[in-house]
Chain A
């Protein structure tokens, strides 16, 4: 039976890991590798959110295209991106851990997409460039999270992921602002936005190459498992991995997508149109503020508990949306709960999964969990849309609430604390 943390709490790569915490000292420094990866994510998110923020305006005002019907390929692409993610995870594990280089490839592809946007002037090429951009994102996610988990001790993993997610979200908030300032300083300056976005993305790749240590050949890993494709699939035979994947999947099936949450906020709580574009910022702000505290909480009380509690926050958000009570603070409360849900689940799930996946298969294992969750959420979007058409928004939301309650109850039984958590 391989439990990754059986080899005491020795970090995989000595160079990038936090020093083992002496007993009694509560605060250990976050590993330099985590800070470096957080910086890479921050810079990359500035770059990508710059483009995302101006894209609708660019299509409509800059190119005179009608953006409706543009999302038709999204469904097909979702399946493809799941494959890319699994492939990225597997490639990163092979050859004794090439996490850094696979992640670097992902960041590099996304960076190269930015100047390509300058050349694409019609819908099909623009769609292809965006698909390539998302392929880059799919490739890099699992290896990056594996690097974060491998360079922190199990006792500080929650916080390490929290710090990373907070930095990532900070970048996502800064990007649109940067894009707006460029558009303000120029006339139709979309070319300038894409060029600056490219320069920023290149800087992100450079920080990765220069400051994130490549996996040391770590001889200890060789003895555990060989990172073959079969071993990656075989992970699901391992009870702990299977349980966390099944829970992520179950809970994902009852997680209504962000755009539906914002639509419901507007329709059910009467949020005025002018605030609609700002709703995602509310979620992001709460995520940013709570990622580190909730990550630390996960280290203290167990990441699985925090992961489940995060879904409790989501359940509460659904309940508030179901009330037909129009309080002025209600939308804020829903956004705060929605951000809390992300802060308590996004990085925390990776921390929880890292506890069960052996080091040699860390990327593949995390990719399996992420993919299961992403596909479940996509299925939920389809189901929710269909339920809305059949029964209307309130009943669809009521059904999701009941489903979430059921899934959370099943998960509660499934995710009993591991031995390590019990020991605390």
Chain B
């Protein structure tokens, strides 16, 4: 074959391949228009004022298609499937307590997306912002509103890399003092100081004393519930096989996802509640795998997200292992219940 013919063949092939490539990009960009239109039968969303100090309301990320997609939205806690009021503030993950909000959002830069955490006041104005080193995963605010925490996935960097790690950060919102990774804390595992390069933390949850928190520590292929101390900057392992802990308002129990043997690798978790006094585990009546850090609506009820038609839906379940799950909202994620 002459060089000329080879070049012609390559040229023809490149044109055909470019056509396929362009068509696929156009197809994917056409989705933008569809998602900007509200889907029929979906929740009604109107813009309005959202504050973090209105008792009896639930604030969450609205995932319903339409102009308010991904915005912080509020509904009455007593009517979670009712009309939604959207704030105009877009977040991927969100939580709030005592008039302090934490909003993890994407920042669209010229050559790549980055992420940041916003600390919001009661009127959703930004008080501070911090860089988040990867894809946001969990967000929490302490019951006092004085501390905020978030977790991000940090991706693998090698060829077809499959190694991922997490970073959990805690900030004192009064002073702005940031601990960018809990890996800076001293670890006491089974009574001994412990260090390892594969240590990962995620899913921080705070107690009401502005000192104690709980989180997941993963190392050596196992996960542990740890109790953290913000004063001594130490974490201590308490219990095995606990992920994404969530402390009950009365501080006596931890709701968490437990990796249960025999379940598929993609959906390995079941919701459990751990009594911190007796260390007794109670399985909840949700038969599906839950990948979320559950939220306590009150001392008896948990709220969590499961995949739905438009991203995720919210469900409730009793915290004592009885009853069965109820869907309370469609196209919603990251709920927070406002108490004051």
Contact = CB atoms under 8 A, between A and B. Distances in A.
B21 A389 contact: no
Nearest to B114: A274
A206 interface: yes
Q: Among A137, A184, A211, which residue has the most Cβ atoms of chain B within 10 A?
A: A184
A189 B28 contact: yes
Interface in A149-194: 176-177, 180, 182-189, 191-192
Contact of A185 (B29, B162, B183): B29
Interface residues of A, number: 70
A127 B162 CA distance: 9
A259 B157 contact: yes
A390 to B, nearest CB: 9
Interface in A29-47: none
A79 interface: no
Interface string A347-383: 0000000000000000000000000000000000000
A48 B161 CA distance: 11
Given A68-B164, A177-B111, A259-B158, A189 B29 contact: yes
Interface in B291-332: 291, 307
A195 interface: yes
A276 B154 contact: yes
Given A55-B161, A396-B197, 9 more contacts: A52-B160, A69-B221, A186-B32, A199-B17, A211-B6, A259-B163, A262-B157, A385-B198, A389-B198
A48 B165 CA distance: 21
Contacts of B9: 206, 210
A56 B14 CA distance: 29
Given A72-B221, A210-B10, A389-B195, A56 B135 contact: yes
A57 interface: yes
Nearest to B6: A210
A119 B181 CA distance: 36
Interface of A: 48, 51-52, 55-57, 60-61, 64-74, 122-124, 127, 130, 133-134, 137, 176-177, 180, 182-189, 191-192, 195-196, 199-200, 202-203, 206-207, 210-211, 258-260, 262-263, 267, 272-274, 276-277, 279-280, 384-385, 388-389, 392-393, 396
Interface of B: 1, 6, 9-10, 13-14, 17-18, 20-21, 24-25, 27-29, 31-32, 35, 108, 111-114, 131-135, 137, 153-167, 180-181, 183, 195-198, 200, 218, 221, 264-266, 291, 307
A55 B157 CA distance: 10
A68 B157 contact: no
A123 B156 CA distance: 16
Q: Which 6 A-B pairs have the closest CB atoms?
A: A56-B155, A273-B133, A186-B28, A189-B28, A195-B24, A192-B28
Contacts of A393: 195, 197
A187 B29 contact: yes
Contact of A60 (B29, B137, B156): B137
A188 B160 contact: no
Nearest to A396: B197
A137 B20 CA distance: 25
Contacts of B32: 186-187
Contacts of B132: 273
**Chief secondary structure at chain A's binding surface:** helix
A48 B159 CA distance: 8
A130 B162 contact: yes
A264 to B, nearest CB: 9
A180 B112 contact: yes
Given A180-B113, A276-B133, A276-B154, A199 B162 contact: no
A274 B133 contact: yes
A216 to B, nearest CB: 15
B162 A385 contact: no
Contacts of B135: 56-57, 60-61
B266 A195 contact: no
A176 B161 CA distance: 14
18 contacts: A52-B156, A56-B134, A56-B156, A60-B153, A64-B291, A67-B153, A68-B153, A71-B156, A182-B28, A186-B32, A196-B25, A203-B10, A210-B10, A274-B114, A385-B197, A389-B195, A389-B197, A396-B197
A392 B157 CA distance: 23
Contacts of A184: 108
Contacts of A64: 291, 307
Contacts of B161: 52, 55
Nearest to A74: B162
A263 B197 contact: yes
Contacts of A177: 111
A187 B133 contact: no
B164 A192 contact: no
A202 B195 CA distance: 46
B20 to A, nearest CB: 5
A191 to B, nearest CB: 6
